């Protein structure tokens, strides 16, 4: 039992030293926890595609019962807020250009007459397309209100579609974005910490000292990889708890599977970070290369826009992106309650990235001395 | 005489900063290569526009009417329908993540259609709420045509319940500034903000901190240079990098992605330069406050870059955000520039907005530069 215990004791003392370096003063401790806390609160409230407030203006040239009913329906949603009542179509440009109204609803003079004649009565909506996804969502919302109005007029189409959304019954975008942050926000710091770990020692000249100790490259690798992983998992836990208890998004899957996935994901991230660290000559380079890498990783992860909307060549590139599979795994376990069978595929690229980057970093530790 | 001394010292310091910037290749990787990567990713990679959404069709009613009805989906460029033999299998596909939606035609569909009250069931995977909502809209759009035909075939027969024929309200929709509602059009102008921000947050945020860490700032104190000269000399080389990036952005927007540029180019360039100064000075201020490269980069990321992505109205519309977050977003210079640049690209010159945003940005630039200069006063501790 002697050599094994000895071996572990050495790794353990390196880990302890690394953790002490990370946590030695209050300001560096704060830098590890406060960002995760602040970001998850800020983004929890700020990152939403859901319409909560649509300022609109009305140009009602019909002034009849049905047009009033349509407007009452709009006002009754609590989402549409009338900011202006226009007198002529010449005023439309002004309210849209200045951004006072997201949309103008224009009801022509013959609206009521056409309706009672059994014809189709067009209503025009003009939308501010500067944010096309808000414009599209608002148009769809008005469409749904008009459909409901038609139904109450007895002009219902013979077929209705009953919609039901699994896993996110009210289709809230927060449910989509927040669980993904469990992986995405902590990745930024695990990457940065692991990228800096060796680079800092290089800059200060202590890495050469580490190399002449009896520690083997494998021991150094483990000692350098575990502390950032721990920090990453702690950060993920903070975000996870905020989502679960503050934003109260129900968790459907198993916690242990979530953490198994997070551990794999963090391992892959740390592998990338340590590889950067082994290549960089100083801290500045390590940081800049991390930023250079982290932005494409975030953008190509499906965090903000779905991977399936990307051109195929970029979709292929995402297979090397651990964040894509981390996000997918967390979302599916958290929201869909997916089991190990369902997400087993997500583990493959994560393991592959870890299996390539960690040995590479270990090799570079020894073979890049400059 | 003192003016020429100022110019001389500034020129000498600027030369030094430029050399320092060019010496480390990682500066140029982040300053030039990262913006190009972002331009390409945003222009080609990121899209909210759903294409080929996987819809699984389950036909519990084998009648030709039902089949014709759902075959309407095959004509849609946005949907990629596939058949499943039963609901059990369709649900299994949904759980395995192999389909985005299930459209089910219930067994009593034709019978109820004859009675004027047919129903279809649409089950969406709600995890990606945006895509789910788009799919619902596309399915409804694709079914509207066969549904109308079906209604017409019923032969102007009044609805079973209604006594007289009633007309229906139809919606005619026009999206100004972005007629085809392409998300690239609003993402690419926002990219200008992002790129200008990242140079400040990632590059200048480390400049003063690095000198503090290495102790070279103290040796600068024994020379006759004034604090403001040090600050300005650090800004100049990165301003040039930012200006080159702006050219990349504008060229890509115009020629690669064919985003309209409806405002005047001079205003776009002037406003971008103004924001670039704000972003660079914010980076320098963070650098002067923290005096530590790691802390500076973290703080810059947290207070400047991430908010510019998430809270400036770049992708998430500020109208939908709760009051306190809106107040925070109004404090960010990025928010004001974001609104302005989207208007300039897509809507055109709106002078009241131009003056207001530029006044705010100028105020930020002056305050940030003054603060940084103050912090750089010669003192040892």
**SS in 3 state form for chain B?**
CHHHHHHHHHHHHHHHHHHHHHHCHHHHHHHHHHHHHHHHHHHHHCCCCCCCEEEEEEECCCCHHHHHHHHHHHHCCCEEEEEECCHHHHHHHHHCCCCCEEEEECCCHHHHHHCCCEEEEEEEECCCHHHHHHHHHHHHHHHHHHHHHHHHHCCCCCCCCCCCCCCEEEEEEEEECCCCCCHHHHHHHHHHHHHHHHHHHHHHHHHHHHHHHHCHHHHHHCCCCCHHHHHHHHHHHHHHHHHHHHHHHHHHHHHHCCCCCCCCHHHHHHHHHHHHHHHHHHHHHHHHHHCCHHHHHHHHHHHHHHHHHHCCCCCCCHHHCCHHHHHHHHHCHHHHHHHHHHHHHHHCCCHHHHHHHHHHHHHHHHHHHHHHHHHCCCCCC
- % of chain B at pLDDT higher than 90: 31
Average pLDDT over residues B154-167: 48
pLDDT for position B208: 86
Report B:257-276 residues touching A (Cβ under 8 A): none
Domain of B138, CATH number, reads 3.40.1710.10
* Residues B223 and B326 both lie in one domain: yes
The Cα of A155 is separated from the nearest Cα of chain B by a number of Å equal to 6
Residue A216 in this model has a pLDDT that exceeds 50 = yes
What does A1-27 look like in DSSP terms, one character per residue? -HHHHHHHHHHHHHHHHHHHHHHSSHH
B200 has pLDDT over 60:
yes
Q: How confident is the model at residue B290 (pLDDT cuts 50, 70, 90)?
A: confident
* Every domain of chain A and the residues it spans: 2-47+174-367, 54-153
Local confidence band at A57 (pLDDT 50, 70, 90 cut-offs): very high
- Provide the pLDDT confidence category of residue B381 given band limits of 50, 70 and 90: low
CB proximity A65 to B under 8 Å = no
**How much of chain A, in percent, has pLDDT values that exceed 70?**
97
Question: Given this model, what pLDDT does residue B160 score?
Answer: 41
Q: What pLDDT is recorded for position A29?
A: 80
Q: Which helix (H) or strand (E) holds A155?
A: none
Query: Which residue would you say has higher pLDDT here, A203 or A255?
Result: A255
pLDDT higher than threshold 80 for residue B150 = no
Give me chain A's average pLDDT, please: 88
End residue of a domain, out of B101, B136, B152:
B152
- B159 has a pLDDT exceeding 50: no
Task: Please judge whether B302 and A35 are an interchain contact, meaning their C-beta atoms are less than 8 angstroms apart.
Answer: yes
| β-pairing verdict for B118-125 and B101-105 | antiparallel
Q: How confident is the model at residue B142 (pLDDT cuts 50, 70, 90)?
A: confident
Specify whether the CB–CB gap between B99 and B81 falls below 8 A. no
Identify the DSSP state of A47.
-
pLDDT at B377 over 80: no
Of A307-311, B200-204, B264-268, the range with the highest mean pLDDT is B264-268
| Same domain assignment for residues B41 and B58 | no
Q: What is the mean pLDDT of residues B149-168?
A: 53
Report pLDDT for B70.
82
Instruction: Determine the pLDDT at residue B268.
Output: 95
Asked whether residue B148 falls in the same domain as residue B102, the answer is yes
Across the range A288-315, mean pLDDT stands at 88
Torsion angle of C-alpha atoms A97, A101, A102, A104, degrees rounded to 10: -90
Report pLDDT for A156: 58
CB contact under 8 Å between B169 and A332, yes or no, is no
In the predicted model, is pLDDT for residue B291 greater than 80? yes
Q: Looking at beta carbons, which residues of chain B come within 8 Å of A160?
A: 117-120
pLDDT at A368 > cutoff 70: no
Q: What is the mean pLDDT of residues B148-174?
A: 59
Interface touch B183/A132, C-beta < 8 Å: yes
Query: Which of A23-27, A47-51, A94-98, B31-35 comes out lowest in average pLDDT?
Result: A23-27
Query: Within an 8 Å CB–CB cutoff, is residue B46 touching chain A?
Result: yes
pLDDT band at B272 (very low <50, low <70, confident <90, very high): very high
Q: Does B227 touch chain A (CB under 8 A)?
A: no
User: Does residue A205 sit at the B interface (CB-CB below 8 Å)?
Assistant: no
The alpha carbon torsion through A187, A189, A192, A196 (nearest 10 deg) reads: -130
Reported confidence tier of residue A46, pLDDT bands at 50, 70, 90? confident
In a domain, B359, yes or no: yes
Average pLDDT over residues A181-189: 89
Residue A231: count of CB within 10 angstroms of its CB: 23
Q: What pLDDT was estimated at residue A141?
A: 87
Is the pLDDT at A326 greater than 50? The verdict is yes
Residues of chain A with C-beta less than 8 angstroms from the C-beta of B97: 332, 336, 338, 342
CA separation, residue A88 to residues A171, B47, B135 (Å): 37, 37, 36
Say if residues A180 and A226 touch (Cβ distance below 8 Å): no
Per-residue pLDDT reduced to its tens digit, A111-159:
888 888 888 888 999 998 888 888 888 888 888 888 888 877 765 556 6
Yes or no, beta carbons of A155 and B182 under 8 Å apart: no
Q: Which residues of B touch A314 (CB under 8 A)?
A: 41, 44-45
Judged by CB atoms closer than 8 Å, whether chains meet at A162 and B198 is answered as: no
Higher per-residue confidence, B177 vs B263? B263
Q: Classify residue B172: in a domain, yes or no.
A: no
Q: How many beta carbons lie within 10 A of that of residue B157, not counting itself?
A: 9
Residue with tokens 């800020």: A42
Does residue B370 share a domain with residue B300? yes
Residues B24 and B119 in one domain: no
> Residues A329, A261: contact at Cβ < 8 Å?
yes
Residues B308, B219 within the same domain: yes
What pLDDT score does A228 carry? 93
Tokens of B58: 């389950």
Q: Which of B254, B100, B281 is nearest to B188 (CA)?
A: B254
Q: What is the pLDDT of residue B161?
A: 42
B110 lies in the same domain as B27: no
- CB pair distance less than 8 Å for A48 and B94: no
The hierarchical CATH code for the domain A54-153 is 3.40.1710.10
Is B46's CB within 8 Å of A299's CB?
A: yes
Regarding whether B338 and B189 lie in a shared domain, the answer is yes
**What mean pLDDT comes out for the span A81-101?**
89
List the single residue in B with minimal CA-CA distance to A330: B127
Q: Does residue B101 share a domain with residue B232?
A: no
Q: Own/partner pairs for B225-229, CB < 8 Å, 24+ apart? A: B225/B9, B225/B13, B226/B6, B226/B9, B227/B373, B227/B374, B227/B376, B227/B377, B227/B378, B228/B369, B228/B373, B228/B376, B229/B6, B229/B9, B229/B10, B229/B13
Mean pLDDT (chain B) is: 85
A287 to B329: CB separation less than 8 angstroms, yes or no:
no
Do B30 and B82 reside in the same domain of the chain? no
* A-chain residues near B262 (CB < 8 A): none
Residues B144 and B6 reside in one and the same domain? no
A99 touches B at CB < 8 Å: yes
Q: Is residue B289 part of a domain?
A: yes
Q: How far is B136 from chain A (nearest CA, A)?
A: 8
Q: What is the pLDDT of residues B242-265, one digit of tens each?
A: 999 999 999 999 888 888 888 999
What's the confidence (pLDDT) of residue B380? 54
Given B152, B171, B198, which residue is the final one in a domain? B152
How far, in Å, CA of A121 to CA of A141, rounded?
A: 19
User: Between residues B23 and B379, which one has the greater pLDDT?
Assistant: B23
DSSP A284-330: HHHHHHHHHHHHHHHHTTTSSS-GGGS-HHHHHHGGG-HHHHHHHHH
Quick check: B126 and A143 CB within 8 A?
A: no
Confidence class of residue B166 from pLDDT cuts 50, 70 and 90?
A: low
Assign A38 a pLDDT band (cuts: 50, 70, 90).
confident
Report pTM: 0.84
Domain span at residue B89 reads 53-152
Q: Is residue B208 located within the same domain as residue B138? A: no
| Calpha distance A235→B169 (Å, rounded) | 52
> How many domains is chain B built from?
2
Q: Which residue from A241, A223, A244 is spatially nearest to A233, judged by alpha carbons?
A: A241
Contact check, Cβ <8 Å, B24/A161: no
How distant, in Å, are the alpha carbons of A302, B50, B176, B325 from that of B45?
Answer: 11, 13, 24, 29
Q: pLDDT band for position B214 (50/70/90)? A: confident
**Residue A169 CB-density burial (10 A; 0-12 exposed, 13-18 middle, 19+ buried):** exposed
**B157 pLDDT tier (thresholds 50, 70, 90):** very low
Q: What is the pLDDT of residues B37-86, one digit of tens each?
A: 998 888 887 777 788 889 999 999 888 888 888 887 888 888 899 999 99
Name the minimum distance, in Å, from the CA of A9 to any CA of chain B: 30
pLDDT digits (tens, 9 = 90+) for A251-294: 999 999 999 999 999 999 999 999 999 888 888 888 888 988 98
Q: Say which residues have a Cβ less than 8 Å from residue A224's Cβ, sequence separation at least 6.
A: A14, A18, A194, A197, A198, A274, A277
User: Nearest-CA neighbor of B300 among A367, A122, A314, A31?
Assistant: A31
Q: Which residues contact B273 (CB under 8 A, 6 or more apart)?
A: B239, B243, B246
């Amino acid at each position: 039992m002697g050599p094994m215990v000895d071996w572990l004791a050495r790794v353990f003392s390196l880990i302890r030293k690394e953790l002490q370096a990370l946590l030695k003063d209050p300001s560096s401790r704060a830098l590890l926890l406060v960002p995760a806390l602040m970001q998850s609160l800020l983004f929890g409230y700020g990152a939403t595609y859901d319409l909560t407030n649509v300022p609109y203006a009305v140009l009602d040239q019909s002034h009849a019962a049905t047009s009033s009913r349509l407007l009452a329906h709009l006002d009754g949603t609590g989402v549409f807020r009338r900011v202006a009542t226009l007198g002529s179509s010449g005023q439309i440009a002004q309210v849209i250009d200045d951004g006072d109204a997201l949309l103008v609803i224009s009801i022509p003079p013959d609206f009521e007459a056409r309706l009672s004649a059994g014809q189709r009565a067009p209503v025009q909506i003009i939308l501010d397309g500067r944010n096309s996804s808000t414009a599209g969502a608002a148009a769809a919302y008005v469409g749904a209100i008009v459909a409901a109005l038609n139904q109450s007029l007895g002009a219902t189409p013979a077929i209705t579609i009953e919609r039901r959304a699994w896993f996110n019954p009210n289709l809230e975008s927060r449910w989509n974005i927040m669980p993904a942050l469990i992986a995405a926000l902590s990745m930024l710091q695990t990457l940065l910490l692991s990228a800096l770990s060796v680079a800092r020692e290089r800059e200060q000249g202590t890495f050469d000292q580490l190399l002449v100790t009896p520690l083997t490259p494998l021991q150094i690798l483990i000692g350098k990889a575990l502390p950032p992983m721990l920090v990453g998992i702690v950060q993920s836990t903070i975000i996870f708890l905020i989502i679960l208890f503050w934003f109260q998004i129900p968790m459907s899957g198993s916690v242990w599977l979530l953490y198994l996935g997070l551990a794999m994901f963090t391992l892959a991230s740390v592998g990338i970070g340590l590889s950067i660290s082994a290549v960089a000559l100083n801290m500045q380079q390590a940081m800049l290369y991390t930023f250079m890498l982290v932005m494409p990783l975030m953008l190509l992860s499906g965090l903000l826009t779905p991977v399936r909307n990307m051109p195929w060549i970029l979709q292929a590139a995402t297979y090397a992106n651990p964040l894509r599979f981390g996000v997918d795994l967390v979302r599916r376990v958290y929201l869909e309650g997916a089991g190990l069978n369902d997400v087993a595929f997500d583990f493959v690229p994560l393991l592959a990235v870890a299996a390539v980057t960690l040995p590479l970093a270990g090799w570079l530790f020894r073979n890049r001395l400059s | 005489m003192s003016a020429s001394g100022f110019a001389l010292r500034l020129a000498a310091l600027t030369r030094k900063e430029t050399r320092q910037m060019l010496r480390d290749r990682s500066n140029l990787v982040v300053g030039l290569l990262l913006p190009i990567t972002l331009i390409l990713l945003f222009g080609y990679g990121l899209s909210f526009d759903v294409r080929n959404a996987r819809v699984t069709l389950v036909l519990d009613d084998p009648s030709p009417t039902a089949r014709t009805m759902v075959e309407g989906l095959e004509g849609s460029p946005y949907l990629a329908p596939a058949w499943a033999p039963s609901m059990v299998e369709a649900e299994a596909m949904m759980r395995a993540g192999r389909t985005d939606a299930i459209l089910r035609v219930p067994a009593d569909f034709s019978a109820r259609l004859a009675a004027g009250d047919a129903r279809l069931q649409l089950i969406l995977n709600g995890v990606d709420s945006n895509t789910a909502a788009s799919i619902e809209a596309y399915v409804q759009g694709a079914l509207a045509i066969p549904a109308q035909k079906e209604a017409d075939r019923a032969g102007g027969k009044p609805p079973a319940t209604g006594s007289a024929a009633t007309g229906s309200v139809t919606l005619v929709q026009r999206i100004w500034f972005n007629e085809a509602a392409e998300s690239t059009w609003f993402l690419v102008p926002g990219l200008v903000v992002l790129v200008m921000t990242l140079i400040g947050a990632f590059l200048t945020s480390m400049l003063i901190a690095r000198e503090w860490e290495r102790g070279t700032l103290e040796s600068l104190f024994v020379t006759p240079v004034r604090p403001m000269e040090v600050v300005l000399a650090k800004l100049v080389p990165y301003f040039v990098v930012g200006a080159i990036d702006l050219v990349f952005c504008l060229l890509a927007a115009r020629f690669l992605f064919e985003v309209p540029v409806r405002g005047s180019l001079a205003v776009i360039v002037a406003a971008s330069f103004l924001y670039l100064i704000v972003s660079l000075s914010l980076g320098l201020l963070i650098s002067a406050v923290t005096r530590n490269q790691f802390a500076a980069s973290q703080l810059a990321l947290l207070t400047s870059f991430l908010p510019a992505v998430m809270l400036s109205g770049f992708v998430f519309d500020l109208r939908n955000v709760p009051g306190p977050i809106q107040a925070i977003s109004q404090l960010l210079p990025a928010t004001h520039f974001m609104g302005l640049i989207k208007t300039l690209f897509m809507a055109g010159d709106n002078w009241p907005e131009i003056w207001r945003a530029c006044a705010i940005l100028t105020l930020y630039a002056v305050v940030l530069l003054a603060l940084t200069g103050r912090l750089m006063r010669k003192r040892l501790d």
